[in-house]
Structure 1
Amino acid sequence: MTHPASLTTRLTLLFILVSSSVLLGLAWVLHAAVERHFVEMDRGILQSKVEVLERLLKQPPQAQELTALQSAVVEMFRSDPELRVFVQTADGRVILAPEEPDFPADELPQRASGVRPGLFTWWYDGSRYRGLADAIQPALPGFEPLIVAVAINIDHHERFMERYNRTLFIFIPFAAILSGFLGWRAARRGLVPLRLMQERAASVTASQLNTRLPEGSVPHELTGLAHELNRMLDRLEEAFRRLSNFSSDLAHEMRTPVSNLLTQTQVALSRSRSQREYQEILASSAEELDRLSRMIGDMLFLAKADHGLSLPSVEELRLHEEVADLFEFYDALAEEEGVSLSSAGRAVLRGNRLMLRRAFSNLLSNALRHADEGGYVAVKITEQPSTVSVAVENSGQPLAPEEFSRIFERFYRAEGARTRPQGATGGLGLGLAITRAIIRAHGGDITANSEEGVTCFLVTLPREPSQHAGGESA
Structure 2
Amino acid sequence: MKLGRQNNPTLSARLIRWLASLSLGVLGCLCLGVFFSVKANLETQQDLRLEKFSTAIRHLFEETPAHLRPGTLEHDLEDLLKINRDLHLKLLKQSGEARFVSTPGSWPAQARFYSFELPELARQPDFTVAELALDTAPDEAILDRLAAILWAAALIGSAAITVGGYLIVYLGLSPIRTLAEQTRSLAILSLDKRLETKGIPAELQVLVDQFNDLLNRLEKAYRQLEGFNADVAHELRTPLANIIASSELALRGNDTQENLRDCIGSNLEEMHRLSGIVNDMLFLSQADRGAKARRTPIASLAQLCAEVADYYEAVFMETDLQWSIDGDAAGQFDVALLRRLLSNLLNNAARHAYPGSAIVIRIRPEADGRIELSVINRGEAIPADSLPQIFDRFFRVDTARSQGHQNHGLGLAIVSAIARMHGGEAFAQSARGETRIGVRLA
What CA distance in whole angstroms lies between the structure 2 residues aligned with 1:152 and 1:448? 99
**Offset at 1:98?**
0.5
- 2:104 aligned residue: 100
| Residue 404 to residue 100, structure 1, CA distance change in 2 (3 Å) | farther
- Secondary structure of 1:411's counterpart equals coil
Which range moved further: 283-292 or 52-61? 283-292
What CA distance in whole angstroms lies between the structure 2 residues aligned with 1:378 and 1:327? 10
| Residue 185 to residue 351, structure 1, CA distance change in 2 (3 Å) | same
Counterpart amino acid of residue 407 in structure 2: G
1:406 matched to 2:389? The reply is: yes
| Residue 63 to residue 324, structure 1, CA distance change in 2 (3 Å) | closer
1:234 matched to 2:237? The reply is: no
What CA distance in whole angstroms lies between the structure 1 residues aligned with 2:400 and 2:331? 32
The answer (yes or no) to whether the contact 2:243–2:270 under 8 Å persists in 1 is: yes
What CA distance in whole angstroms lies between the structure 1 residues aligned with 2:207 and 2:437? 37
The answer (yes or no) to whether the contact 1:61–1:72 under 8 Å persists in 2 is: no
What CA distance in whole angstroms lies between the structure 2 residues aligned with 1:324 and 1:58? 126
What CA distance in whole angstroms lies between the structure 1 residues aligned with 2:350 and 2:163? 75
User: TM-score, normalised on structure 1?
Assistant: 0.78
- 1:21 aligned residue: 25
Deviations 1:43-100 (A, max 9, x none): 2222222222233333227665243333333334433333323334555465642023
- 1:434 aligned residue: 414
The answer (yes or no) to whether the contact 1:20–1:172 under 8 Å persists in 2 is: yes
| Residue 53 to residue 252, structure 1, CA distance change in 2 (3 Å) | same
1:71 to 72, 75, 87: 75
Which range moved further: 231-240 or 85-94? 85-94
Counterpart amino acid of residue 375 in structure 1: S
1:135 to 109, 114, 117: 117
Higher helix share: 2
- 1:392 aligned residue: 375
Paired residues for 1:405-424 under 5 Å: 405-415=388-398, 418-419=401-402
2:290 to 308, 319, 323: 308
- Secondary structure of 1:207's counterpart equals helix
Unmatched tracts of structure 2, length 5 or more: none
Which range moved further: 6-15 or 275-284? 275-284
What CA distance in whole angstroms lies between the structure 2 residues aligned with 1:264 and 1:214? 57
What CA distance in whole angstroms lies between the structure 1 residues aligned with 2:68 and 2:286? 119
| Residue 210 to residue 80, structure 1, CA distance change in 2 (3 Å) | same
**Offset at 1:266?**
6.7
What CA distance in whole angstroms lies between the structure 1 residues aligned with 2:116 and 2:201? 67
User: TM-score, normalised on structure 2?
Assistant: 0.83
What CA distance in whole angstroms lies between the structure 2 residues aligned with 1:397 and 1:229? 40
| Residue 141 to residue 41, structure 1, CA distance change in 2 (3 Å) | closer
What CA distance in whole angstroms lies between the structure 2 residues aligned with 1:363 and 1:242? 23
The answer (yes or no) to whether the contact 1:411–1:429 under 8 Å persists in 2 is: yes
- 1:84 aligned residue: 88
What CA distance in whole angstroms lies between the structure 2 residues aligned with 1:160 and 1:78? 23
**Offset at 1:156?**
1.5
Deviations 1:161-218 (A, max 9, x none): 2333344555555555555555554554444444333333322222112333455645
What CA distance in whole angstroms lies between the structure 2 residues aligned with 1:209 and 1:259? 35
| Residue 279 to residue 91, structure 1, CA distance change in 2 (3 Å) | closer
**Offset at 1:362?**
0.3
What CA distance in whole angstroms lies between the structure 1 residues aligned with 2:117 and 2:197? 79
1:323 to 297, 302, 305: 305
Counterpart amino acid of residue 9 in structure 2: S
What CA distance in whole angstroms lies between the structure 2 residues aligned with 1:16 and 1:426? 73
**Offset at 1:240?**
0.6
**Offset at 1:409?**
0.3
- 2:39 aligned residue: 35
| Residue 226 to residue 453, structure 1, CA distance change in 2 (3 Å) | same
Paired residues for 1:10-409 under 5 Å: 10-60=14-64, 65-88=69-92, 90=94, 92=96, 94=98, 96-100=100-104, 124=108, 127-137=109-119, 140=122, 146-168=128-150, 170=152, 172-173=154-155, 175=157, 179-214=161-196, 217-219=199-201, 221-261=203-243, 285-311=267-293, 314-317=295-298, 318-383=300-365, 386-409=369-392
**Offset at 1:377?**
1.1
Counterpart amino acid of residue 293 in structure 1: S
Aligned-residue identity in percent = 27
What CA distance in whole angstroms lies between the structure 2 residues aligned with 1:59 and 1:376? 132
Deviations 1:380-422 (A, max 9, x none): 2234685432122122222222222211001111139955x68
| Residue 98 to residue 194, structure 1, CA distance change in 2 (3 Å) | same
2:9 to 6, 12, 16: 6
**Offset at 1:242?**
0.7
Which range moved further: 188-197 or 201-210? 188-197
Counterpart amino acid of residue 295 in structure 1: I
- Secondary structure of 1:401's counterpart equals coil
The answer (yes or no) to whether the contact 1:138–1:145 under 8 Å persists in 2 is: no
| Residue 398 to residue 40, structure 1, CA distance change in 2 (3 Å) | same
The answer (yes or no) to whether the contact 2:379–2:434 under 8 Å persists in 1 is: yes
**Offset at 1:366?**
0.9
Deviations 1:96-121 (A, max 9, x none): 42023677xxxxxxxxxxxxxxxxxx
The answer (yes or no) to whether the contact 1:60–1:69 under 8 Å persists in 2 is: no
The answer (yes or no) to whether the contact 1:137–1:144 under 8 Å persists in 2 is: no
Unmatched tracts of structure 1, length 5 or more: 104-123, 463-474
Counterpart amino acid of residue 340 in structure 1: Q
- Aligned length in residues: 436
